[in-house]
Amino acid sequence: MPSLQFAVVGAGAVGLYYGAKLAWRGRNVRFLMRSGYDQAKRFGVQILSKEGGVSARGPFFFRSAEEIGPVDVVIIGLKTTANPALVKVLPPLLKPGTWIVTLQNGLGNEEWLAQTFGTDRVLGGLCFVCL
């Protein structure tokens, strides 16, 4: 199986949690960071839990989607109210066959993403975590 490249858009609690778990498992994950970039570059991401700690350090953090480039899977952790920004943010991350996985709160986000970026690439996700 080829190694998939992941981009996390919305590197708040949900995006950092799932992205760090993927990176800890050896996956190629790139985080789009706006606030918190300097902190993440310096210290990485640490998750503390009952199951044990997970940390992700390395060159995973980027300030723009253009720096990341096209990937195989985009994980969206943004709040649904920020979806209009995705019209500019997502295109540099997309190539034919890129999946968009939304882990957003709110209603209608899958439909909006499908209308905006294509029904054949959007997957709705559900997560139940206390972060």
pLDDT the model gives residue 83: 92
Phi, psi (degrees; rounded to nearest 5) at 70? -65, 140
**Confidence label for 43 from pLDDT (cuts 50, 70 and 90):** confident
pLDDT band at 1 (very low <50, low <70, confident <90, very high): very low
Dist. CA 42–CA 82, nearest whole Å: 27
Contact between residue 127 and residue 103 where contact means Cβ atoms under 8 Å apart: yes
Best CA proximity match to 12, nearest among 45, 42, 41: 45
More confident residue, 118 or 54: 118
| CA–CA distance, 48 with 65 (Å, rounded to integer) | 28
